[in-house]
Amino acid sequence: MSTYNSIFIALFFGTSLLLSSCQQPAKETAQNNETANATDSIDHAILHLSAEQLQTIDLDTTSLQRKAMQKNILLTGKVSVTPTHLTSLSSVLGGHIKTLHIIAGQQFSKGQVLATIADMQLIQLQQDYLTAKADWISVKENFDRQQKLNTQQATSEKTLQTARADFQKLSATLRALEQKLRLLHLDPYTLDANNIQQTINIYAPFTGTVSKVLVNTGQYVTPTDIICELIDPRGLILQLNTFEKDLPVLQNGQKIAAYTNGTPDSKKMATIINKVASLDADGAGIIYARLDQPNPLWVSGTYINADVAIRNYEVNSLPQNCVVSFENKQYVFVKIGDSSFELRAVAIGESSDGLVEILDAASLTGIPVVQRGAYDLLMAMKNNATE
């Protein structure tokens, strides 16, 4: 067992610990033993130094200071998508799904055929258009003839008005049918009796990823039925959680480095775009960030970590050489008398430029903390414990 372990095992089990010089009077030694016996943990152990030891150890003290340093904040969350970039795709004409060319998670390109639909309504719509177009030609010719005859006063005004009304009504019907065909991606100007289509194609409106497929081949769908949900990767955002205390230092426009648990070395830069004004039930705040460059491998729901470097972050700090470590825990020595020092456990945060953040600073406020010589005090505690 190491001598370090011996020190603290003795403290834990209340064994009398001789922390002063061997030449101390018996009364002072007894007082030291009482102090050590009263200490039931490593934290708050007391070290008394003799005059000779004080001359040997070069000691200097400092105190907590508010300093500006760089702090790294870890955020966790997942990939989400803005409502404007999540598209529910349906057909403007009811019919049976004849073919499907997509599955969930598949990537697609703008203009790609995702599905085809067949229905008698499609054939009827094309027939109605061709019939209206033929009637329109006849009605237009009659209207033109009536206008000419009216100019020559060879026909009545009422006959001309009737011809004009028929022409206008049929023109409106024809234009409406043209627009319906365009919604189905059919060109009315190339349509004739020899190329009537039996199916219509459902095209991808942008390049992205299929989130869900909600139909199957042969299923009948109406214009209100959703065929699939599509994600535009330009709308992917990061929804990240942070502690309430860190919210004030996170601002729109700040850069963050995002990564997944599986690829911590492959970080993608993103920019904070929004902070939610309220906290959730667990007291956490939510921020949103947008990737600087879309990542096709990240889909909605992917769990994400993100690092944020905050510069000029005001913290309670001590010089790094104030802190000594034992068994993965950190301690400082505080001066409680001319020759007495108390060992106290501390929780530390970020380190930068020779300073370390002290998270539980309240117990050290206004108290002298050993800076130069802290490690020597730890060694002196070890030596006294082994005597």
Reading the block at residue 22, the tokens are: 């061997």
| Percent of the chain clearing pLDDT 90 (strictly above) | 47
- Cβ distance 74 to 256 under 8 Å? no
- Residue 3: pLDDT band by 50, 70, 90 thresholds? very low
Pair 75, 43 in one domain:
no
Q: Tell whether the model's pLDDT for residue 19 goes beyond 80.
A: no
Q: What is the mean pLDDT of residues 201-211?
A: 93
Instruction: Give CA angle at 242 (238, 245), nearest 5°.
Output: 150
206: CB partners within 8 A, 6+ apart: 87, 110, 230, 232
Q: Tell whether the model's pLDDT for residue 173 goes beyond 90.
A: yes
* Rounded CA separation 369/46 (Å): 14
Provide the residue range defining the domain that includes 329: 3-67+318-386
Q: Tell whether the model's pLDDT for residue 216 goes beyond 60.
A: yes
- Residue 68: pLDDT band by 50, 70, 90 thresholds? confident
Last residue of a domain, one of 177, 200, 226: 226
CATH code for position 35: 2.40.420.20
Pair 270, 288 in one domain:
yes
Q: What is the pLDDT of residues 73-123, one digit of tens each?
A: 889 999 998 889 999 999 999 999 999 999 998 999 999 999 999 999 999
DSSP 108: E
Query: How far is residue 158 CA from its own chain's centroid?
Result: 71
Last residue of a domain, one of 191, 209, 226: 226
The pLDDT of residue 133:
93
Q: Which of 31-40, 140-149, 207-216, 300-309 has the lowest mean pLDDT?
A: 31-40
Pair 215, 249 in one domain:
no
Reading the block at residue 155, the tokens are: 């026909």
* Rounded CA separation 346/352 (Å): 17
Name all contacts of 19-27 with Cβ < 8 Å and 24+ positions apart.
19/46, 19/47, 19/48, 19/381, 19/384, 19/385, 20/48, 20/49, 20/50, 20/384, 21/49, 21/50, 21/52, 21/53, 22/387, 23/50, 24/50
263: CB partners within 8 A, 6+ apart: none
The pLDDT of residue 384:
61
Pair 58, 121 in one domain:
no
| 333 phi, psi to nearest 5 deg | -100, 130
| Percent of the chain clearing pLDDT 70 (strictly above) | 87
Q: What is the mean pLDDT of residues 181-202?
A: 93
Q: What is the mean pLDDT of residues 124-140?
A: 93
Instruction: Give CA angle at 262 (258, 265), nearest 5°.
Output: 55
Cβ-count burial 347-377 (b if 16+ within 10 Å, e if not):
ebbbebeebbbbeebeebeeeebbbebbebb
Q: Tell whether the model's pLDDT for residue 5 goes beyond 90.
A: no
* Rounded CA separation 215/121 (Å): 20
Q: What is the pLDDT of residues 23-57, one digit of tens each?
A: 344 444 444 444 334 334 567 888 888 888 888 88
Q: Tell whether the model's pLDDT for residue 159 goes beyond 60.
A: yes
CATH code for position 239: 2.40.30.170
pLDDT, mean over the chain = 83
Closest-CA residue to 61 (of 320, 367, 379) = 367
Query: Could you count the other beta carbons within 10 Å of the beta carbon of residue 64?
Result: 18
- C-alpha distances in angstroms, 255 versus 9, 245, 263, 289, 305? 48, 19, 19, 9, 14
Pair 293, 350 in one domain:
no
Pair 35, 122 in one domain:
no
Pair 47, 153 in one domain:
no
Q: What is the mean pLDDT of residues 262-283?
A: 84
Pair 77, 63 in one domain:
no
53: CB partners within 8 A, 6+ apart: 21, 380
Q: How many domains does the chain have?
A: 3
Pair 204, 291 in one domain:
no
- Residue 142: pLDDT band by 50, 70, 90 thresholds? confident
- C-alpha distances in angstroms, 263 versus 1, 267, 298, 319, 386? 40, 8, 12, 34, 48
Pair 58, 78 in one domain:
no
- Residue 312: pLDDT band by 50, 70, 90 thresholds? confident
Task: Write the single-letter amino acid at 354.
Answer: G
- Residue 170: pLDDT band by 50, 70, 90 thresholds? very high
- Cβ distance 383 to 22 under 8 Å? no
- Residue 207: pLDDT band by 50, 70, 90 thresholds? very high
Pair 152, 214 in one domain:
yes
